[in-house]
Amino acid sequence: MAEMTGAQAIYEMMAREGVRYIFGNPGTTELPLMDLFAARDEINYILALHEDAALGMAAGYAEATGRAAAVNLHTNPGVAHALGNLYNAYRMGTPLVVTAGQQDTRALISEPLLTADLLELTRQHTKWAWEARHASEVPACLARAFQIAETPPTGPVFLSFPVNVMEERAEMDLPPVTRTGQRIRGDRARIEEAARILSHASNPAIIAGDGCARSGAVDVIVKLAEMLGSRVYLEPLNALMDFPTSHALYGGPLLPNARQTQAMLLPHDVIIILGVNTLVPLVHTGVRMIPAGARLIQIDVHVRELGKNYPAEVALLADIRSAVEELIETLAPLITAELRDVISRRKRIAIEENRAARAAFTEQAMVAPERGPVPPAYLVREMRAACAQSAVMVDEVVSANAQFRMTFGANEPNSYFYAKAGCLGLGLPLAIGVKLAMPDRQVICAVGDGSALYSIQSLWTAARYGVAVKFVIFNNASYEILKGGLLALGGASVERGIYPGTDIDKPQINFSALAESMGVAGRRVSETAELRAALDWAFAHDGPALLDVAITREVRSLLR
């Protein structure tokens, strides 16, 4: 046992867990911990100018490393500011240890400034939330926090540390973090039942979700798809690289629109749902995303996801990789010579149809006028042509999401990240965290102008710490997805051509000047003819760089 303060115990436990960075924006309640960053060098404090950006940076670092990242917030206002990206992290399953200073517990009865029940603020967006009562329990709090955050289903946890707990001295041990096995095996009878159903399917399909990437299962899902000759779709708004987009059986991303997704899935009689937590449309219309006649097989490590939106004929609580490996092993003896011929024909048809769909996307991306704003699909294509082959894409262009999934592509683990939960403001800070985790990879952040404004302060952090992300703003001076939603309603906005609360103009924001003011090199691209030279400049620039690209402002009916 050793005597130390609660703050020293926090630092020691973080250092022992290999925490290299703590992301935050400090205040008075964090000062006992902040002083240790001056005294010691094991952990670097990364300053963000807003708490939501700090949490987003930690999320990017966690996603890229696969380990829980650490965030330190400032009591009630700081936690409240970070709730948007805490929600994103929770829906994405990002492992985080989020901490906050709290006012001295002896003063709470007096309701001092900045005080609130921090556990009530965070419980619905975390796996576990706790407030330390004594310095001696700090090590146990952190050991449990890292265990819970990193145990599947992964996610954020929250710890509140009152000032007096951080200043108090106590004799304490620093316990090791208990590590649990990641490979939860599924019920053997369920696997055999799934194999029988698949062996009799006429046109099966796979929906791959982010649980596939988290389980390291992408390669075995490729093997299963080839074994079945089945098309593979990505869950709507997937956050990670869950299936190689260049694979011939890749059928594209499902959309957060019930009618469109149902039409894509209608030809399939059996659907395997793997590690999916988003099977609900963005706007409720009463239409099912999954066709009513399809037989469903669902595998997930999270019991809450099984049958949550659609009853599954076979529901398997298991690690995705382990379950798919066992499914392949069980299915192999059931594939007769006759069935092998059927699968071969099915595979040829799927590949031909996928190739035609891909060609349509490619044709769309080729079209661009010499003068005037840049079409989004063309911008994505030019970004792919100009960047490194191994570039990592962080995407928060909501209205051009399908173009990234089809045109830019993602074929290797940790090559694609997206803000799937729909709460704007994750893209810029997420990219900074990803780049800190992968300093040798080119990291590009594509983000809509509306999304960028939620966390624009992140540019300052990129400049301060020399984090060489290449930011590309898709600037249509509006919240286009909202305009598309109003267009779909067919009401007064359509009749009068007025879209209230959706335009970001008069004055239009100069993002390149804004970037320069924060120390990030910036350029404005107003016409297609300027694009490639500007991309080459940004991607070759030594430090962080930002391109503000004027894109076309076509309003399309969306959401319904």
pLDDT score at 369 = 83
How large is the average pLDDT for residues 498-512? 91
Give the integer Cα–Cα distance in Å for 467 and 399.
27
- Give residues with Cβ within 8 angstroms of 242, minimum separation 6: 208, 209, 210, 212, 213, 218, 221, 234, 235, 275
Are 255 and 406 in contact by the 8 Å Cβ rule? The answer is: no
Judging by DSSP bridges, how do beta strands 521-525 and 545-550 pair with one another? parallel
Give me the torsion for CA of 48, 49, 55, 59, rounded to 10°: -50
Give the largest Cα separation in the chain, rounded. 78
With a cut of 90, say whether residue 408 has pLDDT above it: no
CA separation (Å) from 177 to 8, 69, 146, 334? 17, 15, 7, 44
Nearest partner of 232 among 212, 259, 260, 256, judged by Cα: 212
Give the integer Cα–Cα distance in Å for 323 and 83.
34
With a cut of 80, say whether residue 401 has pLDDT above it: no
β-bridge mates for residue 393, sequence order:
416, 444
With a cut of 90, say whether residue 399 has pLDDT above it: no
With a cut of 80, say whether residue 559 has pLDDT above it: no
Q: DSSP letters of 234-255?
A: EPTT--S--S-TTSTTEEEE--
With a cut of 90, say whether residue 174 has pLDDT above it: yes
Q: Which two tokens stand for residue 277?
A: 């937590």
Give the integer Cα–Cα distance in Å for 53 and 451.
12
pLDDT score at 367 = 79
CA separation (Å) from 340 to 183, 229, 269? 31, 9, 18
Least confident of 117-131, 486-500, 514-528: 486-500
SS3 324: helix
The CATH fold assigned to 367-550 is Rossmann fold (3.40.50)
Q: Which two tokens stand for residue 432?
A: 């900074």
Residue with tokens 């190689």: 244
Kindly provide the residue ranges of all beta strands, DSSP E only, lying in 169-280, ordered along the sequence. 169-172, 204-208, 231-234, 250-253, 270-274
- H runs (alpha helix) in 240-336: 258-265, 320-331
The answer to whether the pTM exceeds 0.85 is: yes
Nearest partner of 285 among 258, 310, 263, 260, judged by Cα: 258
CATH dotted code for 188-354: 3.40.50.1220
Residue 341: alpha-carbon gap to chain centroid: 39
Give the DSSP H/E element, type plus range, for residue 297: strand 295-300
| Backbone phi and psi for residue 39, each to the nearest 5 degrees, phi listed first | -85, -25
Q: Which two tokens stand for residue 114?
A: 């900045």
Q: Angle at the Cα of 15 (from 14 to 21), degrees rounded to 5?
A: 75
Q: DSSP letters of 267-278?
A: T-SEEEEES---
Q: Is residue 473 left, alpha or beta, with left meaning phi > 0 and alpha meaning psi from -120 to 50?
A: beta
Q: Which two tokens stand for residue 523?
A: 């350029």
With a cut of 90, say whether residue 405 has pLDDT above it: no
CB count within 10 Å of CB 524 equals: 17
Q: Is residue 18 left, alpha or beta, with left meaning phi > 0 and alpha meaning psi from -120 to 50?
A: left
The CATH fold assigned to 2-172 is Rossmann fold (3.40.50)
pLDDT interval class at 555 (50, 70, 90): confident
Local structure of residue 374 (DSSP, 8 states): B
Residue with tokens 């046992």: 1
Are 24 and 54 in contact by the 8 Å Cβ rule? The answer is: yes
With a cut of 80, say whether residue 444 has pLDDT above it: yes
How large is the average pLDDT for residues 414-434? 94
Give the integer Cα–Cα distance in Å for 442 and 334.
45
Q: DSSP letters of 455-491?
A: STTHHHHHHHTT---EEEEEE-SB-HHHHHHHHHHTS
How large is the average pLDDT for residues 262-291? 93
pLDDT score at 392 = 97
Give the integer Cα–Cα distance in Å for 321 and 445.
30
Mean confidence (pLDDT) of the chain: 94
pLDDT score at 493 = 85
How large is the average pLDDT for residues 185-212? 96
How large is the average pLDDT for residues 207-225? 97
Give the integer Cα–Cα distance in Å for 480 and 450.
9
pLDDT interval class at 270 (50, 70, 90): very high
Q: Domain residue spans in the chain? A: 2-172, 188-354, 367-550
| Backbone phi and psi for residue 441, each to the nearest 5 degrees, phi listed first | -100, 145
β-bridge mates for residue 101, sequence order:
74, 161
Dump pLDDT digits (tens) for 35-70.
999 999 999 999 999 999 999 999 999 999 999 999
Asked whether the domain spanning 367-550 has the same topology as the one spanning 2-172, the reply is yes
Q: Which two tokens stand for residue 340?
A: 């092998």
β-bridge mates for residue 130, sequence order:
159
